[in-house]
Structure 1
């Protein structure tokens, strides 16, 4: 898998991301990134710079702010010298034509966020030239597919307890944390009651996961998953404060964490993602009868609508099943079979 430095576009060595030569190459590009261009007042470049320093932009979540910053940087680099007063709908449409599907939608969000600020608090523009544009159509998708029990077992066999790869698998599988949050989970986030408590980067909401506390009755049958997670993270030499630090004692970036999980899975013959592990946990909780509020607490969702698709499908299955629910749930995949699950 080829990796490139995000800022400079330079290809990085084909080495593990915790290899000293890979880290050195990455740091070289990080420190040698392009210097920002200063644009004259009234230009699009100046507007992008001011927007990124605004209170509205700083209020975005880390994940969303990072995404918007990349698009604003590209917009500034391409069209920074253009006067904002000269912008018309056809100019924005021409830029959007360079993208497809979700990428086009995200680009339009960047334009509209910039113009919303520039026409109100920024006071730099009188109207929004993107106002009449429609969002790009995207094909319906089930998103990242969840891992099956067979795939998890396959990766466990490839990476034994004591390896960092196994620790990453088990911790993300148990917590259901996104890669961007899983990379920064620490032992210090486990409170005096044994509950792992962390604030999510994407939404800012808190998630609560039982770690070193007896499991409540409603999820007691998941004890084996918790036991494996604890074994895996405690087997790492020195038991570092940061659960998933690199071999050199550093935290991974969000992209690096995602790539790390995809790569450790691929090396075991499994083509799945870190986010697929999050969906696996949500499905497992729904199948044992977790309520929407229990799912929200565990995985940090903000609204009932985000989790009810899991509980709704699980409930429909239970209405047609007998007393041998556990046995019946163990179909060949171990997952909900009456429809796709997104999220």
Structure 2
């Protein structure tokens, strides 16, 4: 018997249906089988039966060990073809992206493109955030209308529920916004995290450190409204992620208030903490011997901002001098907070 390639049609070749089983048994008994016998063609195609060249209509069974070898080879060929197809998927997707880019529908993988309308920004943003696998980082420094918040709610909640890390920074002034507070309560309930900063920062959205949306400015440094830069450059995304987490570490958690479902301030009036996370960072730097100018550089803020934070805290605690403040800090249990 010569080797033959047994075709593998995608269904399992290692089982016989009732009709095939009956036909196989008839062949074993040496019965004459018609060419259109039910199940005969599939048994021949898989090599389970072989036509007797000397007796038309008579079919003999293939030796089991031979058939086993042939079936192994058949399935292996199918698996190899599947793996090869799988390996071609990235190239196929890149080809589609190139075609879409030529028709203004999408972007090349490493491009930094100026999206010049709200619709263009939203289209790319929705596509990338809903497809997030690991992480979504957003920094929102300005007021967001109710309509915008509602539109962004599902884009934050759905990935968070899937286990994606979702983190957002807002300005501290947004804590007084009732609609914004409810939005924070909703997204944190889904697993997202929200913090606030009292200093200024640019608008930013990062997805999986592979997609970055950030503000666009003209040659005079003036913000171009309703537009954004979109980049898939890995280096750009990594630098922006580092910048985001620099602010995240200085920010204060915005946690939901169990009493009314709104989001409250961790360490604020409802808690016993007298300092914010940023103020604690400044105090540690003062005790370490750093000047206000160096502290400002370390934190990415102005020297005046550091002075204002120290002054506000000193006044709130009823101290007249910074040495009084640092002495209080040295003995306060708040120095143990993060």
TM-score, normalised by the number of residues in structure 2: 0.25
TM-score, normalised by the number of residues in structure 1: 0.25
Higher relative contact order (CA 8 A, sep 6+): 1
